[in-house]
Amino acid sequence: MSVKHSLLALLYEKPRHGYELKTGFEALVEGLWPLNAGQVYTTLDRLERDSFVESLSHDKKDRKQYTITQAGKEELWFWLNEPVGRSLFKDEFYIKFLCASHVSYDNKKSMIRDQKETILKDILHLTHLRKQMSLSGNDTMKLLIEGALLHLEADMKWLERIEEEL
């Protein structure tokens, strides 16, 4: 969840002020991840402290503009090149399942059924979104959704498998 690096990516294009970063970020994620102004400013403060961005003179409307520094660009490249691992317990349902077994929870069946229902809901939601991204020509976002859908499909298969074993 790197708001920090997303802001660096936005500043890589051109200098922007805080509000432009908020709207730029929301456009980047197609409005699917709202960012509050406070979050933008605290992140900018940290980025400035680490010398990844610099503030420029205020613009005509007296808003502080930010620009990316060379160190900021290097940080962005470094981050882009860093592979992302996936921990076994990243999915909270895994740890839930583990705990349910630990306490011999006798409602595992309904737990799994409800989880499947949630996954199906997510699948419907994302396929609809995929359609919208396809119509608006946002191919990158479409690829992201496809990735998420493949994960959901795998989750679904796994749940069916453990359902069989119960």
Partner 1 sequence: MINVVSLTKDYKTGKEVVPVLKGVDLSIKAGEFVCIMGPSGSGKTTLLHLLGGLDTPTSGSIQINGKELTSQSEKNRTLLRRKEMGFVFQNYQLLPTLTVYENIIFPLHADGKKASPGDVDELLNAVELKGYENRFPHELSGGQQQRVAIARSLIHQPSILLADEPTGNLDRKRSGDILDLLAKFHYEQKQTIVMVTHDMFAAGYADRIILFKDGVIEAEVKREDEDYARFLARFMA
Residues that bind partner 1 (CB under 8 A): 113, 116-118, 120-121, 123-128, 130-131, 134-135, 146, 149-150, 153
CA distances for 2 relative to 74, 79, 83, 97, 108, angstroms: 16, 10, 14, 28, 35
CA geometry: angle 120, 123, 128, nearest 5 deg: 135
CA separation for the pair 77, 117 (Å, rounded): 40
Comparison of 37 and 120: residue with beta carbon closer to partner 1: 120
Smallest separation (angstroms) from partner 1 to the CB of 114:
9
Smallest separation (angstroms) from partner 1 to the CB of 148:
12
Comparison of 40 and 145: residue with beta carbon closer to partner 1: 145
Comparison of 17 and 130: residue with beta carbon closer to partner 1: 130
How long a stretch of residues is the chain? 166
Per-residue DSSP letter, 63: P
Smallest separation (angstroms) from partner 1 to the CB of 150:
7
Smallest separation (angstroms) from partner 1 to the CB of 134:
4
Comparison of 10 and 159: residue with beta carbon closer to partner 1: 159
Helices (H), 29-107: 37-49, 70-81, 92-102
Comparison of 96 and 116: residue with beta carbon closer to partner 1: 116
Q: List phi, psi (to 5°) of 161.
A: -65, -50
CA separation for the pair 156, 91 (Å, rounded): 13
Which CB contacts under 8 angstroms, 24+ apart, belong to 146-150?
Answer: 149/123
Smallest separation (angstroms) from partner 1 to the CB of 6:
26
